[in-house]
Amino acid sequence: MQIEVLGNQISAYLNALPQVKGCRFYGSLESGTFDEYSDIDLEVDVSGLDNGRFALQIPALLARKFPIVFFDFAPSLAPEKYVVSVAIDTENPFGIIDLSCAAAPHCRTVSREELERQNDPLSHLLKLFTINLKHLIRGADCRRDIAKMYRKAFPASGREPEPEACLAEVFRLLAARADGRREIYVRALRPYAERALRL
């Protein structure tokens, strides 16, 4: 699905919720510079409510309308910012929706630890792999991020191959462990991984 179509569907659905004051795109969709590897950056304004608590509800709210592949919170940004990444499209694996939940006043009630408890390790690894593969394809310097992801996937490895080899090993791990809609999502990633990593 084209990211403009999916982004507008998500925005319209969230805008119809009584808790939501408004939604706005930012990043490449807002500037019109998106490409086939772009994600969807959407800020959700719930001013007057606890935006941290609302962020925790976003995956369940979206699941009422959309078939979610996975979701993953960004604990490292909390409590200054609450962001949850949600994958819905199994055909375009790069069309992940990054939902930033904002409010005035901003609430800081949800801790990093609470968000970490919400995350599923395999979904978290799948998100990191997708982001790192995109950056590699685009030619960005992502060696450190790939190495960090590799250490999460293989903490007892004691070695760190070259970035392409790291990504290839993580992809094989994901392909072996993914289930349900995540398995379909990994299959959609395979052609990109095969081209970029020479699998």
Q: What is the pLDDT of residue 100?
A: 98
Which residue numbers in the chain have pLDDT < 70? 1
Q: Which two tokens stand for residue 37?
A: 């590897």
In this structure, which amino acid lies at residue 196?
Answer: A
3-state DSSP helix/strand/coil percent for the chain, to nearest 5? 50, 15, 35
Q: Is the Cβ–Cβ distance between 166 and 150 less than 8 Å?
A: yes
Q: What is the pLDDT of residue 32?
A: 82
Q: Is the Cβ–Cβ distance between 133 and 192 less than 8 Å?
A: yes
What are 106-147's pLDDT values in tens digits?
999 999 999 999 999 999 999 999 999 999 999 999 999 999
Q: Is the Cβ–Cβ distance between 25 and 41 less than 8 Å?
A: yes
Q: What is the pLDDT of residue 8?
A: 94
The DSSP secondary-structure symbol of 75 reads: G
Q: What is the pLDDT of residue 1?
A: 65
**Secondary structure of 109-126 in HEC code, one letter for each residue:** CCCHHHHHHHCCHHHHHH
Contacts of 89 (CB under 8 A, 6+ apart): 1, 6, 69, 95
Contacts of 194 (CB under 8 A, 6+ apart): none
Q: What is the pLDDT of residue 156?
A: 87
Contacts of 175 (CB under 8 A, 6+ apart): 186, 190
Q: How many CB atoms lie within 10 A of CB 12?
A: 11
